[in-house]
């Protein structure tokens, strides 16, 4: 049985009279990389701050490695690494000096561990430069290195790809995949980069207006939302509205997409042929994470 590292149970949060989180529940298991997505203001950062004990929970529970954050905060948080918003570093110190200072906040973090996280972060060539000379992307990587110092089994990252170039994003993706697979770490990552999340996350949690709309494996979500959606390629798509009553979307001059039950597809094809359309291909449509997000949120953009 897979171990649940993080359990969010019926979380609610109010600021004054405004309720920003409404019965938020989801889990992160060992080896999961869960993409936590939603429009700006949906409640992502607030949820993360509740998990980390940075804000008070009005009701509900956060359980980390079996410990309740409200009742046993120190034990709950001791195996958690996190970056919330931009990592704060001493700009006049080198990356290595920053890591040494942070290491003093923990017990039993030796030089070997510092060297390990430097290698993992890909900052080896610049680790002894002052942080003031780092790009934003390099500071993000240094922040991740700091979060990894205590050997956490839960890693929480809020917008970690901000400022990273394509090579930096690939480095981060490879690192997170390795940590989840080889270290059985649970990872919660909030990001606006849905295309990138889809490439390495195995689960997704969609939040909107403080409500969880979806929490499932990405493969299950895409399969469920791709069912009954077909792409049909023909010699032309002109005048389809005259013969098709169902809602459809023209992709280009030779293709259109339609949501229709599987058992109705033969009749649709027959009708098209009877109206002198030449059918080249009928394929079930494979929805992307971004399209699934837009459909779930009613077309609400993520930025």
Pick the CATH number of 4-217 from 3.60.10.10, 3.30.420.610, 3.40.50.300, 3.40.50.620: 3.40.50.300
Most confident of 127-131, 240-244, 287-291: 127-131
Closest residue by Cα to residue 98 from 89, 107, 106:
89
When pLDDT is averaged across residues 256-263 and rounded to a whole number, the result is 90
Domain spans of the chain, in order of start:
4-217, 227-296
What lies within 8 Å, CB to CB, of 2 at 6+ separation is: 29, 30, 31
Tell me the pLDDT tens digit for each residue of 184-208.
999 999 988 888 899 899 999 999 9
- Across the range 156-172, mean pLDDT stands at 81
Higher pLDDT, 300 or 264: 264
Any long-range contacts for 17-25 (C-beta under 8 Å, 24+ apart)?
19/210, 20/46, 20/210, 21/46, 21/47, 21/50, 21/210, 22/209, 22/210, 22/211, 23/60, 23/211, 23/212, 24/60, 24/207, 24/210, 24/211, 24/212, 25/60, 25/212, 25/215
Q: Residue 98: its pLDDT value, please?
A: 95
Residue 87's alpha-carbon distances to 74, 90, 218, 221, in angstroms, are: 22, 10, 29, 32
Provide, rounded to the nearest whole percent, the portion of the chain with pLDDT above 70.
Answer: 97
* pLDDT at residue 301, rounded to an integer: 55
Q: How confident is the model at residue 286 (pLDDT cuts 50, 70, 90)?
A: confident
Mean pLDDT of 281-303: 80
The pLDDT of residue 300: 58
Cβ neighbourhood burial of 80 (10 Å; 0-12, 13-18, 19+) = buried
Q: Which residue has the higher pLDDT, 1 or 147?
A: 147
pTM: 0.84
Of the candidates 175, 153, 154, the residue with the CA atom closest to the CA atom of residue 164: 175
Answer yes or no: is pLDDT of 121 > 90.
no
Each residue's pLDDT tens digit, 62-93: 999 999 999 999 999 999 999 887 778 899 99
Taking residues 279-288, report their average pLDDT.
90
Percentage of the chain beyond pLDDT 90 is 61
- The pLDDT of residue 101 is 93
The pLDDT of residue 295: 83
Would you state the pLDDT for residue 46?
94
Long-range pairs, 14-17, Cβ under 8 A, ≥24: 14/58
What are the tens digits of pLDDT across the range 46-61?
999 999 999 999 999 9
CATH superfamily, region 227-296: Alpha-L RNA-binding motif (3.30.70.1560)
């Amino acid at each position: 049985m897979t171990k649940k590292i993080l359990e969010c149970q019926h979380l609610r949060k109010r600021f004054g009279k405004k309720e920003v989180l409404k019965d938020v529940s989801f889990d992160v298991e060992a080896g999961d990389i869960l993409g936590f997505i939603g429009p700006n203001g949906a409640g992502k950062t607030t949820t993360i701050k509740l998990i980390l004990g940075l804000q008070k929970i009005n009701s509900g529970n956060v359980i980390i490695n079996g410990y309740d954050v409200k009742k046993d905060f120190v034990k709950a948080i001791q195996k958690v690494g996190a970056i919330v918003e931009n990592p704060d570093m001493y700009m006049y110190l080198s990356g290595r000096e920053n890591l040494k200072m942070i290491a003093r906040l923990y017990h039993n973090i030796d030089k070997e561990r510092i060297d390990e996280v430097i290698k993992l972060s890909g900052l080896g060539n610049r680790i002894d430069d002052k942080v003031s000379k780092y790009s934003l992307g390099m500071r993000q990587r240094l922040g991740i290195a700091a979060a990894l110092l205590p050997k956490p089994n839960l890693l929480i990252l809020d917008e970690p790809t901000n400022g990273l170039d394509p090579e930096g994003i690939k480095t981060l993706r490879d690192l997170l995949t390795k940590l989840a697979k080889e270290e059985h770490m649970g990872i919660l990552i909030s990001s606006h980069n849905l295309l990138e999340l889809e490439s390495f996350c195995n689960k997704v949690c969609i939040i909107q207006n403080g409500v969880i709309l979806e929490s499932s494996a990405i493969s299950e979500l895409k399969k469920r939302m791709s069912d009954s959606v077909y792409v049909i390629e023909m010699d032309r798509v002109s005048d389809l509205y005259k013969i098709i009553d169902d809602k459809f979307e023209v992709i280009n001059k030779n293709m259109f997409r339609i949501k229709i039950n599987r058992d109705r597809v033969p009749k649709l094809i027959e009708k098209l042929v009877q109206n002198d359309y030449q059918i080249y291909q009928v394929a079930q449509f494979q929805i992307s994470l971004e399209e699934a997000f837009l459909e779930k949120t009613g077309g609400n953009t993520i930025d």
